């Protein structure tokens, strides 16, 4: 459970960093996401999940 909490904490730090460092740019990125097609967002989502899976795989080796 400790490891899980550490991982969740690290994800939250990484997710919050761009919002802290570049709030104006993040607003622009968020507005741009609303103009994207759902299919493009799904492809981006699956690509990010696959990259994450590869990182976890290599991290456990």
**Cα(20)–Cα(22) distance, integer angstroms:** 6
Count of CB atoms situated within 10 Å of the CB of 18: 12
pLDDT of residue 1: 85
Helix axes 23-35, 2-21, angle to 10 degrees: 100
Complete DSSP assignment for 23-41: HHHHHHHHHHHHHS-HHHH
pLDDT single digits (tens) 2-61: 889 999 999 999 999 999 999 999 999 999 999 999 999 999 999 999 999 999 899 888
Measured in whole angstroms, the distance separating CA 4 from the mean position of its chain's CA atoms is 17
**pLDDT the model gives residue 22:** 97
């Amino acid at each position: 459970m400790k490891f899980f909490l550490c991982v969740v904490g690290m994800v939250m730090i990484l997710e919050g960093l761009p919002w802290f460092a570049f709030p104006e740019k993040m607003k622009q990125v968020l507005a741009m996401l609303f103009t994207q097609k759902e299919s493009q967002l799904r492809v981006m989502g699956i690509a990010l999940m696959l990259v994450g899976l590869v990182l976890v795989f290599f991290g456990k080796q």
